[in-house]
Chains A and B, each alone.
Chain A
Amino acid sequence: MKAKVYVTLKSGVLDPQGKAIQHSVELLGYEGIADVRQGKYFEIALDGSLDEARARELAEAVGRDVLSNPVIEDYRVEVEA
């Protein structure tokens, strides 16, 4: 089983890296882009001893306590069998 954790900046938080990426993409000539926000993606491999509900609980805890900073970031968890 695998848990995927997505960490993204909260909507009000400025993302200078996202802005720089957007600028570069636009320089390449791609059009129609309104905004780019940079985030982080984590894959956590689980050893198989947990059922899906416990795996989700674990990934939620890791996302909340370690992978994200609640002052500036949100996180979202997906668990894959």
Chain B
Amino acid sequence: MKFGVIVFPGSNCDHDAYHIISKHVGQPVDFIWHRDTDLGTYDAIIIPGGFSYGDYLRAGALARFSPVMASVKGFAARGGFVLGICNGFQILCESGLLPGALIRNRGLHFICRHVNVRVETTETPFTHELKAGEVLSLPVAHAEGNYVCDDETYAELVGEDRVIFRYCDERGGLTEEANVNGSRAFIAGICSRERNVLGLMPHPERACEDLLGSSDGSGLFRSLAATLAAR
């Protein structure tokens, strides 16, 4: 199995993602410059966190016009696995690969700390090795993580079991204080209808080593690797 990590001007979690795949998942991984368009040899693509194009216009808005994104759309349409983390989630929403949008945090501040998220479903290629209802401690680092969508989209997400992570307290409770950025219905991560595209604001790639305070993010990469190994 082979992974690709897309690099936009302004990406800054690309090396973290590369590190996790090469050292923890132990699989081949390449950086893919945003002007490249050939994704033919990859099984999974990671769109990493950062500030692509300096967040100009809107977070993720300009990255979607990079040549590689047309290829990512084709890759996803063919069933390839796409994981968008933080700015990657914003780019997936701007590209229309995931519904909704991420706007300025309710409290306006850039939030950089560990938060708790609850695993809402294990019925995805990215979470099947986790437990439903399990609480993960993952870091967030964003100013635009406040997920919004219209009622119709929200009903669809819930009806199709596509809300994958929700912000919660340490026991898994959905309290207003736990909703760090004011996201609709505590949403921290969602997947596509075909379940092969996942976007989330927290950084699982920064939480795979106890030395960094939490290794709760590793289950996501373990799940994805197991999915690919079984193909």
Contacts and interface: CB of A to CB of B under 8 A. Distances in A.
Contacts of B182: 14, 16
A-side interface mostly: loop
Contacts, number: 37
A13 B182 CA distance: 12
Given A13-B148, A14-B182, A71 B100 contact: yes
Interface residues of A, number: 11
A17 B100 contact: no
Given A69-B58, A69-B94, A17 B104 contact: yes
B106 A16 contact: yes
Contact of B103 (A20, A66, A67, A72): A72
B10 to A, nearest CB: 18
A76 B25 CA distance: 49
Interface residues of B, number: 20
A16 B148 contact: no
A20 B108 contact: yes
B115 to A, nearest CB: 18
B58 A71 contact: no
B-side interface mostly: loop
A31 to B, nearest CB: 24
Contacts of A66: 57, 61, 65
Interface in A1-53: 12-14, 16-17, 20
Nearest to B109: A16
Nearest to B58: A69
Contacts of B57: 66-67
A13 B108 contact: no
Nearest to B93: A71
A40 to B, nearest CB: 8
B104 A16 contact: yes
B61 to A, nearest CB: 7
B103 to A, nearest CB: 6
A8 to B, nearest CB: 13
A12 B93 CA distance: 19
B149 interface: yes
A22 B216 CA distance: 40
